[in-house]
């Protein structure tokens, strides 16, 4: 029990995620996988009446490709919720997406050593 | 003369006279006695009347005393009930709060599992409604609401309130205002708005929309709640007006069974924090229009941009996202001097390096850059690639496909 006049601070997220989704059912996970890369299609304007979360995602992905997982992490939403918002944007034609890029190939040790030596002579 | 004394008539007259005198004397005595008795009786009556008056005064004193005692006892009982309820609701409030924090972490943890996420959200929804009830009762019992450290936009306050009622998906929030509420006003306004939305959704047909419009007025900001119900009858209106204009403690035992807390909570919070609530008018849809007017003194001085809340802004400042395209240049030019020990002094990189090197395709799809920036970017990417090769453990990460 708290003393009179003393107010504990609210720590939980203020706007609950089911309000952000509007109570709609969430899209399946295989539609936009965690590592799918998304960015804005060129020359698009944000949809009218877009919520703060959609605008945050819009700003975030305007600068280049980001994975779905990163988008969710940066806007602080559960992945499923971010995926729903991204799916909306995709269905409105605002998004470009592409699969995960191939990993870089390993270079042989001799080349790396040469590069290392070169760099050391440059910046050392 | 002798004839006179021998006249029997004279004697008769004499006898009659004596008898008359005796009778008069007797009557006079009786009269005197009666007068005395009457006087005595009148004195007695006066005394009795005085006694009765005293008794009346005494009874009045006693009954006043009785009323006072009864009011005192009622007041004490009410205060004791409120203290117990307040303490119990405080516990429930913090439990609901804890549950929300726990759910926040669970929602993040199982964010990628669609089914689990949907179930967690429905649990969260129930928990939020529970928390609203606990807060309402606590407020009526003189308890305090949680305080937010930061400001919140009016749009977020409305959506937070929306999340605390059962039929939240019937509510639509429209805000053309970018202002924020001061931290201390955020929670009370959200609680009051949630109560009004609860009334609006409960007293209108299922499936009809409930609208929240947020408008700036010269004296502050208005939250306008419109429903498409049947409106309120005069009795309900009077009751609402009485509860909304209350100034002081509310008699919780007088709220009916089951108790209707809504308007009492609104009136209490509005009086305590200094905003105004009215429910008298008719909405454009024929139902009730409820208005919360928040004065300028409860608005935050500096409004954050409505697009991103403070948390997002802080997050993007401390860790800019790593991207494939438009990587920053790093190279020899970043050596800005030499330390006293002869070691090169380097400028801190503005942004973290990209984990995945830029592809050729990224150059075509990415933002347009000048030729020198592209060259610098490629050199930087090469430098980082070699650095990555030296620092990354080859067993980390997914298998190369």
d(CA B49, CA A106): 120
pLDDT, position B320 = 57
CB-based contacts of A95: which residues, under 8 Å, 6+ apart? A38, A39, A40, A41, A61, A86, A89
CB within 8 Å: B124 and A17: yes
DSSP letters for B203-216: TS-TT--EEEEEEE
d(CA B293, CA B241): 15
pLDDT, position B251 = 78
Please state the ipTM of this predicted complex. 0.73
* Residue B146 burial (CB count, 10 A): 19
A48 lies in a domain?
yes
CB-based contacts of B88: which residues, under 8 Å, 6+ apart? none
pLDDT, position A97 = 84
How far does CA B257 lie from the centroid of its chain?
20
pLDDT, position B371 = 65
* Residue B156 burial (CB count, 10 A): 23
pLDDT, position B339 = 59
List the Cα angle B110/B354/A76 in 5-degree steps: 30
**A123 vs B148, B332, B357: nearest CB:** B332
By the CB < 8 Å criterion, does A36 face chain B?
no
Q: Are A80 and B362 in contact (CB under 8 A)?
A: no
By the CB < 8 Å criterion, does A19 face chain B?
yes
Q: Which alpha helices (DSSP H) does A16-67 contain, by range?
A: 17-21, 52-62
d(CA A65, CA B46): 108
Nearest residue of chain A to residue B387 (CA atoms): A116
Q: Among candidates B188, B186, B331, B214, which has minimal Cα distance to B267?
A: B188
A64 lies in a domain?
yes
Chain B residues within an 8 Å CB radius of A96: 365
pLDDT, position B2 = 63
Residues of chain B with pLDDT under 70: 1-3, 248, 302-374, 389-401
Beta B288-295 vs B335-338: how paired, if at all?
Answer: unpaired
Question: Is the CATH number 3.30.565.10 carried by domain B149-310?
Answer: yes
d(CA A38, CA A67): 6
d(CA B259, CA B252): 8
The structure tokens listed for B225 are 């709640």
List the Cα angle B58/B64/B70 in 5-degree steps: 135
With H, G, I as helix, E, B as strand and everything else as coil, classify residue B389. Answer: helix
Domain residue ranges of chain B, discontinuous segments joined by +: 149-310, 322-388
Stretch (H or E) spanning B17: helix B8-109
Chain B residues within an 8 Å CB radius of A56: 307-308, 312
A35 lies in a domain?
yes
CB within 8 Å: A60 and B321: yes
By the CB < 8 Å criterion, does A30 face chain B?
no
A7 lies in a domain?
no
pLDDT, position B170 = 93
Q: Looking at the predicted structure, is the pLDDT value of residue A3 above 50?
A: no
Q: Which of A5, A6, A13 to mutate to test the interface with B (most CBs of B within 10 A)?
A: A13
How far does CA B351 lie from the centroid of its chain?
45
**A122 vs B111, B118, B332: nearest CB:** B332
Rounded to the nearest 5°, which phi and psi values hold at A76? 70, 35
d(CA B386, CA B147): 51
B16 to B11, B12, B233: CA distances (angstroms): 8, 6, 96
d(CA B77, CA B342): 81
CATH of the domain at A84: 1.10.10.10
Beta B152-153 vs B180-181: how paired, if at all?
Answer: antiparallel
A–B: how many Cβ contacts below 8 A? 185
CB-based contacts of B248: which residues, under 8 Å, 6+ apart? none
d(CA A69, CA A74): 9
Query: Using 50, 70 and 90 to split pLDDT, how confident is the model at A116?
Result: very high
Nearest residue of chain A to residue B110 (CA atoms): A78
Stretch (H or E) spanning B180: strand B180-181
Residue in the block written with tokens 């804890």: B98
Range(s) of the domain holding residue A32: 17-102
Nearest residue of chain B to residue A52 (CA atoms): B307
Residue-wise pLDDT for A20-47, tens only, equals 998 888 888 777 888 888 999 888 888 8
d(CA B342, CA A4): 63
Task: For chain A, report the end-to-end CA distance as a whole number of angstroms.
Answer: 63
B401 to A122, B6, B138, B397: CA distances (angstroms): 34, 178, 59, 12
CB within 8 Å: B362 and A18: no
Could you tell me how many helices (H) and strands (E) chain B has, helices first? 10, 9
A22 lies in a domain?
yes
Residue-wise pLDDT for A54-101, tens only, equals 988 998 888 888 899 999 988 888 999 999 999 999 998 888 888 766
By the CB < 8 Å criterion, does A40 face chain B?
no
CB-based contacts of B21: which residues, under 8 Å, 6+ apart? none
pLDDT, position A104 = 75
């Amino acid at each position: 029990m708290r003393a009179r006049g003393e107010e504990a601070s609210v720590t939980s997220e203020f706007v609950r995620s089911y309000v952000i989704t509007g109570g709609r059912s969430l899209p399946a996970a295989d539609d936009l996988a965690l590592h799918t890369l998304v960015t804005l299609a060129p020359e698009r304007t944000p949809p009218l009446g877009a919520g703060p979360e959609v605008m945050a995602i819009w700003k975030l992905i305007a600068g280049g490709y980001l994975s779905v997982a990163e988008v969710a992490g940066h806007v602080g939403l559960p992945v499923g919720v971010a995926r729903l918002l991204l799916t909306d944007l995709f269905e409105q034609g605002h998004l470009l997406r592409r699969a995960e890029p191939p990993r870089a190939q390993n270079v042989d040790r001799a080349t790396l050593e040469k590069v290392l030596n070169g760099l050391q002579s440059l910046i050392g | 003369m002798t004839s006179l004394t021998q006249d029997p008539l004279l004697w008769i007259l004499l006898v009659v006279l004596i008898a008359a005198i005796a009778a008069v004397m007797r009557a006079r005595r009786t009269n005197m006695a009666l007068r005395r008795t009457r006087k005595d009786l009148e004195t007695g009556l006066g005394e009795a009347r005085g006694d009765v008056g005293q008794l009346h005064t005494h009874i009045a004193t006693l009954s006043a005393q009785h009323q006072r005692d009864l009011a005192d006892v009622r007041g004490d009982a009410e205060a004791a009930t409120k203290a117990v309820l307040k303490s119990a609701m405080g516990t429930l409030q913090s439990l609901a709060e804890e549950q929300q924090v726990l759910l926040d972490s669970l929602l993040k943890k199982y964010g990628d599992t669609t089914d689990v996420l949907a179930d967690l959200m429905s649990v969260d929804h129930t928990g939020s409604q529970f928390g609203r009830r606990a807060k309402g009762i606590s407020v009526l019992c003189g308890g305090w609401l949680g305080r937010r450290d930061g400001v919140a936009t009016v749009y977020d306050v409305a959506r937070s309130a929306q999340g605390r009622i059962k039929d939240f998906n019937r509510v639509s929030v429209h805000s053309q205002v970018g202002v924020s509420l001061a931290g201390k006003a955020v929670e009370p306004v959200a609680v009051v708005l949630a109560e009004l939305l609860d009334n609006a959704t409960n007293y209108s047909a299922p499936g009809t929309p409930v609208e929240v419009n947020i408008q700036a007025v010269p004296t502050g900001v208005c939250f306008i709640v419109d429903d498409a119900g049947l409106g309120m009858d005069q009795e309900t209106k009077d009751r609402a007006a009485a509860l909304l204009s209350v100034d002081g403690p509310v008699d919780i035992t007088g709220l009916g069974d089951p108790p209707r807390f809504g308007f009492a909570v609104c009136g209490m919070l509005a009086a305590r924090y200094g905003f105004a609530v009215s429910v008298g008018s008719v909405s454009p849809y024929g139902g009730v229009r409820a208005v919360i007017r928040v004065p300028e003194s409860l608005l935050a001085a500096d409004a954050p941009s409505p697009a991103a809340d403070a948390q997002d802004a802080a997050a993007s400042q401390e860790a800019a996202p790593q991207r494939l395209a438009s990587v920053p240049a790093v190279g020899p030019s970043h050596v800005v001097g030499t330390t006293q020990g002869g070691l090169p002094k380097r400028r801190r990189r503005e942004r973290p390096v990209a984990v995945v090197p830029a592809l050729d395709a990224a150059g075509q799809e990415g933002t347009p850059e000048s030729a020198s920036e592209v060259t610098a970017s490629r050199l930087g990417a090469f430098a980082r690639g070699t650095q990555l090769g030296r620092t990354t453990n080859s067993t980390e990460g997914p298998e190369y496909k």
